[in-house]
Structure 1
């Protein structure tokens, strides 16, 4: 394996970032075209959800540095322009344009040239679903002896993803250091506000940025993305907090070096060295901007006192909509800081309040993540979810709205718990082994209806009328979905005629519980709305 000095892969101009254009056609573009043509592109679309999130974070760091928006007036000017101007980008690249070569011998992009003295391993090490050695995943069973060659475009995408999402565990030793902590994005669901075009998406997620004035919060004048920093020297990787927002967006969680060779007329990445990188010692609740946070709760369901807010994370099956209070709604000063939504949503709410965004608009809140095993060392699943973000709800600051949304979510949770008890109580009585599967017939049928609930509540807010109709429709959908799941279970649970009476008894009990849950839900809704009217 060799590293050829003459080989170059310029990430500014080479086609490597996977995108979807406004016609729905997939393509690949370099960083320069991605920004300058962002008004003609729909979105970034990586081969996995963590890759999509990691690429967005990389591009946002570049956007902040090249097109820093320091005031809402500047933001409005960017929003009303048809496209991004070339001049700010070219001015930035005049100073840092040489930092984006994947194979540069002196400072290869997002890599550490000091690792050249370590023998590379297969580049499959970059790809979670191409497992090697003991790193077995559910996706693939590649072995160390398998030969893997990656195109520079694919390798660049996985390089960016590894820095953001690499699991913890043992890596290639570097100066005696073998153990590595989780890359920061593993600890949260990465939240992105998505518009109709990539340009809109970048603007929605581009916070007002002025390091000299410490904007956004916790950003210092020393803030810079990793490619602006000096090349990491040989030695033991350090530990430190983030210097600011673009520093965290491009956090060097691993020291990596790709090796490459000619393969016919093309260049292929044929090896990689991955060692521990910089350990993040800051607090995500203070530094991370693409996440929502909530107060942890104990087994009694009550918030834990004196415990820091924890990031919202994705879970299989049960949708991110269940965290809509934390994701969408403004925190209440009197609540003792029980939740915190992504700062981009606060910014959007302010812009709409001041007439710089339409108040009847609804955007998409997309959340990305991955599921690790119990040891936090192996990727088990990739996760992505979405929920609508109506501006009318983003602007609302009253406690009643949070109570109503929370009550709607609780109804779904309680009905789901009743479903689980339906099966477990029956199995216990019959002394039969539990059979899973009820969740699959219940939870996946709720997200669309919950999205309609949010849109309906937003419409009611704009029209200054109670949210009763939307909440009633939601309650009916939850009840019908739960009963349908229960009936399907009853039809499949019976093995002979002797079971029918037992099943019927448990189904009747379940139906009564669901009916009671719906009645209680309506009582709580009426109480909240009455309190709002009296206030």
Structure 2
């Protein structure tokens, strides 16, 4: 029996806020005004599916000019005619199981190299690929529906960890797929239509826009299927990056009980991206590493901002949200969609009072970067009045707020470490779980209050003072909770009392430093 699954028309993309939980590729675009968001089974899947849909959107609609973007924004829905025409031009490229052009796959991979399809799923354990989530053995049979297989295919190409793979011939080693290198940043609007447009940067390959995009740019389904041999090359442009073939994959369908399933697949090394990430990848933020004293390291390349467990992405709000004419493109770089959003506010396409959400996706790998230890998703508010502000001093204010949190966290670590050092014992449990997660929501409030103050022409001192109280209060509560456990265990009250007093002195010093920075900031603001 011939098996077919057309991703253009078959429902397979998980969505929220629509009449059905799954939508086809056509429906995701054509009905984007009625859909709330794409919602994958894991954060990396959500990010990978957004990148896929954005690649389709760019090839169909551009938009190449500001007027094109404005017309799409003002329309109630996306015009279905160009979407239908585009899919018709590439009619044979969207069948998941086509013999010659299987969607996002390498048809020349030999079936003899097949393994369980669970190799596409990071939280499934297969053979030596032990995970923290699952205890599946190589003998266990995993079956995926065509839609599930399509979702994990897209995800694996963007987020598959590095390490040893089944070789096509001899090459076993593969670098981790590009999206493991950074937090994938998405500007989220009220509907999927808004979200797609807010992340649709100017796209006109014939005019080489965005930067590094060439007239030869195209997503993988418009290209000749890749050779099974792994390679390394520079990207042709933005949609090439969005659909980057980091792995060679071939799904092997079968029919069980009259129903098509995928139980086996071939997964081998693919192409290594030769471009520097800040030049090619626009859904990420970048910053130059800092030396002692907080100054950027001379000559150091910008590194992507990544997600880490416990400590929230809000700690990188300066890199994500804010611009500084003196620092932009030299010591930090915002996601391209944020830079474009600032332009749209200045051109009055979007009101300055608007508040969006930055949603950031990633995953945590082990020390060898070959096993997925956890999935990560975080968010930070994006008040557009802050996004479009060109005053570099705003970055100083927000950066000082983040620094206060870092300093208080350092004081907590010193409390624990000095106490255990005095007792000549191991450092013991971290205090982070009682501190960092409690600051995410208050920091969102701080950003909103700073935004409101700027819109009303008022000083930001009230927002800064409230943030200081939250940080110091949270740090003190974390210290007290930890100390209560220490008393019950060690009964070393004299040592604990001394180190707790030292902690409070450090915390007070950091709060005083913050007050001085805020006062200096306000003085400069009022002198303008």
Does residue 344 of structure 1 match 2:337? yes
Distance 1:274 1:498, change over 3 A: closer
**Counterpart mapping for 1:108-119 below 5 A:** 108-119=102-113
Deviation at 1:332, TM superposition (A): 2.5
CA offsets per residue over residues 43-68 of structure 1, 9 Å max, x none?
11111111000000000000000111
Question: Secondary structure, in 3 states, of the residue corresponding to 2:16?
Answer: strand
Conserved 8 A contact 2:413-2:430: no
Q: Deviations over 1:370-416 (max 9, x none)?
A: 11111111111111110000001001111110000110000000000
Aligned residue among 173, 183, 202 for 1:189: 183
Secondary structure of the residue aligned to 1:494 is: helix
Match of 1:104 in 2: 98
Find runs of 4+ consecutive structure 1 residues off by over 4 angstroms: none
**Contiguous gaps of at least 5 residues in structure 2:** none
> Equivalents in 2 of 1:463, 1:518: separation in Å?
27
Task: Give matches, 1:76-95, under 5 Å.
Answer: 76-95=70-89
* 1:354 aligned residue: 347
Output the CA distance in 2 between the equivalents of 1:336 and 1:173: 40
Give the distance between the partners of 1:438 and 1:526, measured in 2 at CA.
Answer: 31
Residue number among 187, 198, 206 corresponding to 1:212 in the alignment: 206
Q: Which residue of 2 aligns with 1:284?
A: 277
1:49 and 2:43 aligned: yes
Shift of residue 510 of structure 1?
1.5
Q: What are the within-5 Å matches in structure 2 for residues 158-173 of structure 1? A: 158-173=152-167
Aligned-partner Cα distance in 2 for 1:336–1:112: 37
Structure 1 vs Structure 2 CA RMSD: 1.5
Candidates 132, 146, 151, aligned match of 1:138: 132
| CA distance in 2 between partners of 1:502 and 1:334 (Å) | 46
Matched, 1:126 2:111: no
User: Contact (CA 8 Å) 1:124, 1:130: kept in 2 or not?
Assistant: yes
Using the size of structure 2 for normalisation, the TM-score is 0.97
For residue 523 of structure 1, what is the aligned residue in structure 2? 516
Q: 1:9: which partner in 2?
A: 5
8 Å contact from structure 1 (residues 331, 341) kept in 2: no
Of 239, 251, 264, which residue of structure 1 is paired with 2:244?
251
Offset from partner CA, 1:20-39 (integer Å, 9 cap, x none): 016xx770111001111111
Verify the 8 A CA contact 1:214 1:220 in the aligned structure 2: yes
Distance 1:202 1:336 in 2: 25
Aligned residues: 528
Specify whether residues 320 and 498 from structure 1 end up closer, same or farther in structure 2 by C-alpha distance, changes over 3 A only. Answer: closer
Question: Which of 340-349 and 425-434 deviates more?
Answer: 425-434
CA drift of 1:301 comes to 4.2
CA contact (8 A) 2:249 2:265 kept: yes
1:371 pairs with one of 364, 368, 371? 364
Partner of 1:156: 150
Residue 471 (str. 1) matches residue 464 (str. 2): yes
Distance 1:377 1:299, change over 3 A: farther
Alignment of 1:194-343 (within 5 A): 194-234=188-228, 236-298=229-291, 301-333=294-326, 337-343=330-336
What is the CA deviation profile of residues 220-259 of structure 1, one whole-angstrom value per residue up to 9, with x for unaligned ones?
Answer: 000000000011235x322111100000000011111011
Structure 1 residues 373 and 416: CA distance shift in structure 2, 3 A? same
Q: Does 1:21 align with 2:17?
A: yes
Offset of 1:263 from its aligned partner? 1.4
What SS is found at the alignment partner of 2:369? coil
Aligned to 1:508: 501
How much has 1:534 moved relative to structure 2? 3.0
| 1:174 alignment counterpart | 168
- Distance in 2 of aligned mates of 1:351 and 1:510: 46
Distance 1:272 1:347, change over 3 A: same
CA offsets, 1:325-358, max 9 Å, x none? 0000114236771100011111111111111111
Verify the 8 A CA contact 1:309 1:338 in the aligned structure 2: yes
8 Å Cα contact 1:400/1:529 also seen in 2: no
Q: Could you say what secondary structure the match of 2:344 adopts?
A: helix
For residues 101-131 of structure 1, the C-alpha deviation after alignment (integer angstroms, 9 at most, x for no partner) is 1111111001111013433110010001102
Q: What CA distance in whole angstroms lies between the structure 2 residues aligned with 1:308 and 1:431?
A: 40
* 3-state secondary structure, aligned to 1:273: strand
1:489 maps to which of 472, 482, 490: 482
Contact 1:331-1:338 at 8 Å conserved across structures = no
1:495-534 per-position Cα deviation (integer Å, ceiling 9, x unaligned)? 3795233322222222222122111111111012212333
2:24 aligned with 1:30: yes
CA–CA distance in structure 2, aligned partners of residues 335 and 75 of structure 1: 24
Match of 1:40 among 26, 34, 51: 34
